[in-house]
């Protein structure tokens, strides 16, 4: 009718719906990021919730286990903030006040270093001093409007409350949500495939999130112990920076290494010892600890990870970089499972037609 082929119209309609869905996802990226954080937070707390749920003898007490898990988590965060947060703030303030003097000391030429190295060092320190002065002047210029910006930032603090609340519902009704999603698909081979994909994604997110947290804690522990033993200035601050940047795949650890080496170079304390330690620890983590914790959950090529990190940063900033690897891993699972299902159907059809 009207010269329009039904199959072509159906494919065009499907493509239009996919484009519309992607556009809606882009428009709702901030809200979806909050839900994604809540989901990952739920995966982080789920082992503790399951442990408490099994420890409580009464049945139907998962809500009580959830409440106890939140109390324990908040208590641990407050304790860590008291013990470590104050030292981090103090060291950050000390570093900010001493940085100009340390850069001036590093800028002085060395008698044993070649002239080219002294010139390169002077240019590097001059560039750092210029950037520091510019940032300081920007801060002073923005102080009059700091009140309004604080109110704007305070409005985002609601997410600190929303994320745990959403995670509570994910932990409490996760099985119900999964069953409702499966009910959308009719009983049959497609439903089995969807259920298998959801189960695989569930294991992937649970395993990778817990492994990522353990890797970041291991990084903080190793860096803090080494810096404390060697007497490296601002050791706790540098260890916290390394732990925080561990959550950004590949790029984050490189940024942490650059910051640590720059600070130790400017501070003039144990620079080569820090270099040797970082090389040894990164080899231990990348070739032993990370494969042992991650296992075979995230099977992505490093080039694809880099593409996802940079692409995610272009789309959604730091949030996009953080979520890029889980999204790519889930897309890979969906592709592999769909392809296996089609191959199995094709093989079964070929056997029947023989």
CA distances (Å), origin 211, targets 26, 145, 191, 310: 28, 42, 30, 22
- CA 248 to chain centroid: 5
Burial of 179 from C-beta contacts in 10 A (0-12 / 13-18 / 19+): exposed
Nearest to 209 by CA among 68, 100, 325: 325
Q: Could you list the pLDDT tens digit for every one of the 354 residues in the chain?
A: 455 667 777 778 878 888 888 888 778 777 888 888 888 888 888 888 888 888 876 666 678 888 888 889 888 888 887 878 788 888 888 877 777 676 666 666 655 556 555 666 666 666 666 665 555 444 434 434 444 443 444 445 566 778 888 888 888 888 788 888 777 777 777 777 777 777 777 777 777 788 888 888 899 999 999 998 988 888 888 898 898 888 877 778 888 888 888 888 777 778 888 899 999 998 888 778 877 766 555 566 667 777 777 777 676 666 667 677 777 777 777 777 777 766 665 665 665 566
- Predicted pLDDT at 150: 39
Q: What is the pTM of this model?
A: 0.69
**How far is Cα 24 from Cα 28, in angstroms, rounded to an integer?**
6
**How far is Cα 278 from Cα 281, in angstroms, rounded to an integer?**
5
- Predicted pLDDT at 141: 46
- Give the tokens for residue 84: 């470590």
Token pair 């939140």 is found at: 70
- Predicted pLDDT at 180: 80
- Predicted pLDDT at 60: 60
- Predicted pLDDT at 144: 45
Burial of 307 from C-beta contacts in 10 A (0-12 / 13-18 / 19+): middle
- Predicted pLDDT at 254: 86
Label residues 60-76 b or e (16+ Cβ within 10 Å = b).
Answer: eebeebbebbbeeeeee
- Predicted pLDDT at 145: 45
Handedness of CA 25, 27, 31, 37 (dihedral sign): positive
In the chain, the N- to C-terminal Cα span, in Å, equals: 38
- Give the tokens for residue 350: 């070929």
Burial of 260 from C-beta contacts in 10 A (0-12 / 13-18 / 19+): buried
Per residue in 33-55, pLDDT (tens digit) is: 888 888 888 888 888 888 888 88
- Predicted pLDDT at 225: 92
């Amino acid at each position: 009718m009207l010269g329009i082929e039904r199959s072509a119209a159906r494919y065009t309609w499907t493509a239009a719906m996919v484009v519309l869905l992607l556009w809606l996802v882009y428009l709702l990226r901030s809200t979806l990021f909050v839900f994604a954080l809540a989901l990952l937070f739920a995966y982080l707390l789920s082992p503790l919730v399951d442990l408490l749920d099994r420890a409580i003898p009464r049945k139907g007490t998962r809500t009580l286990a959830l409440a106890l898990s939140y109390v324990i988590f908040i208590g641990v965060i407050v304790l860590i903030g008291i013990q470590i947060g104050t030292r981090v703030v103090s060291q950050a303030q000390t570093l900010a006040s001493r940085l100009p003097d340390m850069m001036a000391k590093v800028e002085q030429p060395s008698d044993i270093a070649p002239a080219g190295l002294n010139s390169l060092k002077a240019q590097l320190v001059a560039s750092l001093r210029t950037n520091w002065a510019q940032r300081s002047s920007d801060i002073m210029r923005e102080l009059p409007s700091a009140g309004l910006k604080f109110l704007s930032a305070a409005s985002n603090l609601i997410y600190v409350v929303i994320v745990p609340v959403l995670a509570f519902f994910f932990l409490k009704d996760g099985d119900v949500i999964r069953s409702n999603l499966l009910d959308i698909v009719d009983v049959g081979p497609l439903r089995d495939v969807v259920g298998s994909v959801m189960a695989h994604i569930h294991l992937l997110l649970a395993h990778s999130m817990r492994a990522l947290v353990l890797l970041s804690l291991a990084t903080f522990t190793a860096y803090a112990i080494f810096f404390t033993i060697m007497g490296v200035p601002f050791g706790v601050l540098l260890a916290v920076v390394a732990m925080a940047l561990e959550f950004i795949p590949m790029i984050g650890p490189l940024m942490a290494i650059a910051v640590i080496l720059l600070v130790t170079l400017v501070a003039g304390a144990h620079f080569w010892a820090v270099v040797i330690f970082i090389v040894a620890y990164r080899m231990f983590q990348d070739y032993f600890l990370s494969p042992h914790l991650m296992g075979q959950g995230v099977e992505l090529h490093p080039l694809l990870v880099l593409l996802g990190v940079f692409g995610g940063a272009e789309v959604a900033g730091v949030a996009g970089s953080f979520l890029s690897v889980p999204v790519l891993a889930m897309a890979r699972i969906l592709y592999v499972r769909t392809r296996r299902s089609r191959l199995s159907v094709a093989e079964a059809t070929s056997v029947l037609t023989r």
